[in-house]
Amino acid sequence: MSELVIKDLHVTVETDDGTKEILRGVDLTITSGQTHAIMGPNGSGKSTLAYAVAGHPKYTIPSGSVTLDGADVLDMSVDERAKAGLFLAMQYPVEIPGVSVSNFLRSSLTALRGEAPKLREWIKEMNEAMKEIGMDPTFSERNVNEGFSGGEKKRHEILQLELMKPKIAILDETDSGLDVDALRIVSEGINRTVERNNTGVLLITHYTRILRYVKPDKVSVFVDGRVVATGGQELAEELEANGYVKFSKATAGA
Amino acid sequence: MSSALQEKEILFKSTDARPDRIASSNPDDFLVPNGREEEWRYTPLKRVGNLHNDAKAEQDINYEIVAASGITHSILSRDEVKTKFLATDRISSRTQSLWNKALVIDIPQELETKDLTWIKIDIKSGVQYGHIIINAKAHSKATIILEHVGEGIAGINCEIIADVNSSIDFITVYDLARKGVIVSEHQFVINKDANIRSLVVQLGGDVVRYVPRAKFSGNHGAVELLGVFLATNGQFFENRVFVDHNMKDCKSNVLYRGGAQGEGSHTVWVGDVLIRKIATGTNTYEMNRNLLLDDGARADSVPNLEIETGEVEKAGHASVTGRLDDDQLFYLMSRGIDEPTARQLVIEGFFSGIFGEFTHPELKERLNERLNAAIERSHK
Ligand SMILES: Nc1ncnc2c1ncn2[C@@H]1O[C@H](COP(=O)(O)OP(=O)(O)OP(=O)(O)O)[C@@H](O)[C@H]1O
Ligand SMILES: [Mg+2]
């Protein structure tokens, strides 16, 4: 049983006009085997939350805490966070010229498992995982994300999720840009991971359509750098019908 | 003085020098550079052991050769060597006038070999000058590797002459010890239907200045000038490429990829391609890509294309200098990969494929080993 606890998290970035506060006191807990959906308008700080928890150097954390089973995540380097069991599927995965998918995945699993997977077993493992997520085996020889379509990049993120078996995964708009079939396949991948590895998932999304496949245990509304409401699936339906207006007002009045 | 001037004027018309440059075997035709000349503006002349001024030879170059069967080689003194080599700068012409022993390699007519020919030069401490001539006779095919190691100071020039329909792969490696210095001018002459693929690799040494110059002696020739360099810990590596399209329907391809890391590390790439009026049907492309691995390093990149004819098949040039990307490192590290390994992956990725055309397994392995060792040094 694992638990990622985010408490009163404040995050700033340096801009040309000085320091800008993006997260303004986020409280969230993500638990093994549970899926927690987060919905919020563009620019509300959802990706910032994901990056800050994963440790992107661009963000500064003036106050607040993030712990994974009691260990201080903010004190860890980016790779240590991954080794501790955190995973981030990125909204915009980065291209890495000249580094093949298979070399990348093998380097990653070698680091996470503490030893290099045996070559033959590794190839089998990778091919099976690629098949499950509907990626052609030829992708293993292509450079990481280079020339991948939007949907292919998202599948590649979920492929990594399945291979890396994290304790806690943050999925940042993994459903954006997917066609109907890809959405189903990617959702199945997420469900498999939760089932097989008891992963806890923070699912950032704009649409309820993924929530038809990946059933959230909780839904939170994220506005203007903080969580403003939390409920069940019915909250997602309401957001889709009425938008965020009500919640934006609530923050403005608070 | 006046006789030297006259000689220069004659050379203008009769040689392969750029219209605005001279070519001569007499060092007195070149002023001692002070570092303000266009030609020398980047080179740290204080660190070249006076090669540009008056450094005397303290010993001869020692050439070690392992030749593929059928390829002959000999070490000859000045009066035994016939050469038309005309140097185009002060150090190169001093080298030309000061060497005592030249290495001459002959690839006989119609000899075709896949086996490698290795020339290894260990530059001993002190100053030395050398000259190498590689004669590829008609219809021959071979691969020559010229490796430089050692900690001394050297001026070494090289002529690579590819006769009709020959095909030569020529790889030059500079992997000197940290204080080693070498300045070289390599001249490639490509005859009708001949083809030279050359690669230069600069990884070790304090100062490496490399001036490859290619010209054609028949139509339908092709030359590739590829390069890889990685300067770390204050190293200086310079490449001044010149391709002279002086014949019809010839092809040239100049691709250099370089990296620089650390305070004072500095790389220079100057690529000049000249398409003369007579050179119709020319196809040329030149490109330099640099990766700066931190804020202390510097890369200068100057592509230059001069076209004197309207009937060119294709002519292009490009230069891109970028920085190691935080987002790439973050992506890799967020998958558990530690920072040194992540940097290594990104740098290897940047250089990947540059050895691609040189498929001989032993060669490829040796080059990759050297490059990876240099990348590893860059983490320290
Ligand atoms: N480096 C930065 N400099 C300036 N502003 C930034 C920087 N990074 C993020 N921001 C700003 O912070 C806010 C939150 O951005 P973030 O990407 O976290 O939003 P989001 O909720 O993920 O939006 P979307 O739904 O569009 O993905 C935005 O207004 C964004 O412009
Ligand atoms: Mg976002």
What are the beta bridge partners of residue A219?
A37, A231
With beta carbons less than 8 A apart as the criterion, state whether A203 and A37 touch: yes
Higher pLDDT, residue A247 or A164? A164
Q: Three-class SS of residue B48?
A: coil
Structure ipTM: 0.96
Nearest to B330 among A57, A108, A112 (CB): A57
Residues in chain A closer than 8 A to B346 (CB atoms): 96, 99
Encode A110-136: b = buried (16+ Cβ within 10 Å), e = exposed.
bbbeeeebeeeebeebbeebbeebbbe
The DSSP secondary-structure symbol of B152 reads S
Ligand nearest to the CA of A17: 1
pLDDT reading at B7 higher than 70 = no
**What is the per-residue pLDDT for A239?**
87
Beta-carbon pairs below 8 A across chains A and B: 83
| B118-161 pLDDT, tens digit each | 999 999 999 999 999 999 999 999 999 999 999 999 999 999 99
Q: Which helix (H) or strand (E) holds B148?
A: strand B141-150
Which atom of ligand 1 is found nearest the CA of A40?
Answer: 21
Q: Does residue A77's CB lie within 6 angstroms of at least one atom of ligand 1? A: no
Which atom of ligand 1 is found nearest the CA of A41?
Answer: 25
Cα distance between residue A36 and residue A203, in whole Å: 6
With beta carbons less than 8 A apart as the criterion, state whether B98 and B129 touch: yes
**What is the per-residue pLDDT for B136?**
98
Nearest to B338 among A55, A111, A164 (CB): A111
Select the residue from A77, A80, A86, A94 to test the B interface by mutation, using most B Cβ atoms within 10 A.
A94
Please, what is the average pLDDT of chain A? 94
Q: Does residue A62's CB lie within 6 angstroms of at least one atom of ligand 1? A: no
**What is the per-residue pLDDT for B301?**
95
- The reported pTM is 0.84
Residues in chain A closer than 8 A to B328 (CB atoms): 94-96
Token pair for residue B54?
Answer: 């008056």
| B326 interfacial to chain A (CB closer than 8 Å) | yes
Select the residue from B333, B343, B347, B355 to test the A interface by mutation, using most A Cβ atoms within 10 A.
B333
Q: From the CA of A97, how many Å to the nearest CA of chain B?
A: 6
Please, what is the average pLDDT of chain B? 91
Residues in chain A closer than 8 A to B323 (CB atoms): none
- Backbone dihedral angles phi then psi of residue B327, each to the nearest 5 degrees: -70, -35
Q: Does residue A45's CB lie within 6 angstroms of at least one atom of ligand 1? A: yes
Q: Does residue A48's CB lie within 6 angstroms of at least one atom of ligand 1? A: yes
Token pair for residue B329?
Answer: 């490192």
**What is the per-residue pLDDT for B324?**
87
| A102-155 pLDDT, tens digit each | 999 999 999 999 999 998 999 999 999 999 999 999 999 999 999 999 999 999
| B57-87 pLDDT, tens digit each | 999 999 999 999 999 999 999 999 988 899 9
Q: From the CA of A103, how many Å to the nearest CA of chain B?
A: 9
- Best residue among A16, A22, A170 to mutate for probing ligand 1's pocket (most ligand atoms within 8 Å of CB) is A22
- Percentage of the residues of chain B whose pLDDT score is greater than 90: 83
Q: Three-class SS of residue B329?
A: helix
Residues in chain B closer than 8 A to A55 (CB atoms): 330, 333-334
**What is the per-residue pLDDT for A241?**
86
CB contact under 8 A, B334 and A82: yes
**What is the per-residue pLDDT for B380?**
67
Nearest 5 degrees, angle CA B57-CA B59-CA B63? 115
Cα distance between residue A194 and residue A89, in whole Å: 15
Cα distance between residue A86 and residue A164, in whole Å: 10
**Secondary structure (DSSP) of B187-237:** EEEE-TT-EEEEEEEEEE-SEEEEEEEEEESSSS-EEEEEEEEEEETT-EE
- Percentage of the residues of chain A whose pLDDT score is greater than 70: 98
Q: Tell me which residues of chain A have a C-beta less than 8 Å from any C-beta of chain B.
A: 54-58, 77-79, 81-83, 87-88, 90, 93-99, 103-104, 107-109, 111-112, 143-144, 160, 164
Encoded amino acid at A105, one letter = L
Q: Three-class SS of residue B127?
A: strand
Cα distance between residue A102 and residue A108, in whole Å: 10
pLDDT reading at B10 higher than 50 = no
Cα distance between residue B188 and residue B169, in whole Å: 12
**What is the per-residue pLDDT for A252?**
46
CA-nearest residue for atom 28, ligand 1, is A43
| B332 interfacial to chain A (CB closer than 8 Å) | yes
**What is the per-residue pLDDT for A186?**
95
Select the residue from B323, B330, B346, B352 to test the A interface by mutation, using most A Cβ atoms within 10 A.
B330
CA-nearest residue for atom 17, ligand 1, is A47
| B166-182 pLDDT, tens digit each | 999 999 999 999 999 99
With beta carbons less than 8 A apart as the criterion, state whether B277 and B261 touch: no
**What is the per-residue pLDDT for A42?**
94
Alpha helix stretches (DSSP H) within A27-149:
46-54, 78-84, 101-113, 119-132
Residues in chain B closer than 8 A to A164 (CB atoms): 335-336
Q: Does residue A38's CB lie within 6 angstroms of at least one atom of ligand 1? A: no
CA-nearest residue for atom 16, ligand 1, is A45
Read off the pLDDT band of A171 (50, 70, 90): very high
- Percentage of the residues of chain B whose pLDDT score is greater than 70: 94
Cα–Cα nearest to A64, from A37, A101, A33, A26 = A26
Read off the pLDDT band of A250 (50, 70, 90): low
Pairing mode, strands B181-190 and B153-162: parallel
Select the residue from A51, A79, A112 to test the B interface by mutation, using most B Cβ atoms within 10 A.
A79
**Residue B217 CA from chain centroid, whole number:** 20
pLDDT reading at B13 higher than 90 = no
Token pair for residue A167?
Answer: 């304790």
Pairing mode, strands A143-144 and A96-100: antiparallel
**What is the per-residue pLDDT for B20?**
57
Cα distance between residue B72 and residue B59, in whole Å: 25
**What is the per-residue pLDDT for B18?**
53
Pairing mode, strands B153-162 and B63-66: unpaired
- Backbone dihedral angles phi then psi of residue A8, each to the nearest 5 degrees: 45, 50
Q: From the CA of A251, how many Å to the nearest CA of chain B?
A: 33
Cα–Cα nearest to B227, from B244, B205, B246, B208 = B208
With beta carbons less than 8 A apart as the criterion, state whether B130 and B159 touch: no
Which atom of ligand 1 is found nearest the CA of A22?
Answer: 12
| B197-225 pLDDT, tens digit each | 999 999 999 999 999 999 999 999 999 99
Nearest to B326 among A57, A97, A98 (CB): A57
Residue A86, CA atoms < 13 Å, CB-side half-sphere: 31
Higher pLDDT, residue B56 or A245? B56
CA dihedral (B50, B52, B55, B58) positive or negative = positive
Among A81-95, B14-28, B182-196, the minimum mean pLDDT is found in B14-28
**What is the per-residue pLDDT for B16?**
40
pLDDT reading at B112 higher than 80 = yes
Token pair for residue B303?
Answer: 């592509």
Q: Does residue A194's CB lie within 6 angstroms of at least one atom of ligand 1? A: no
CB contact under 8 A, A96 and B341: no
The DSSP secondary-structure symbol of A216 reads -
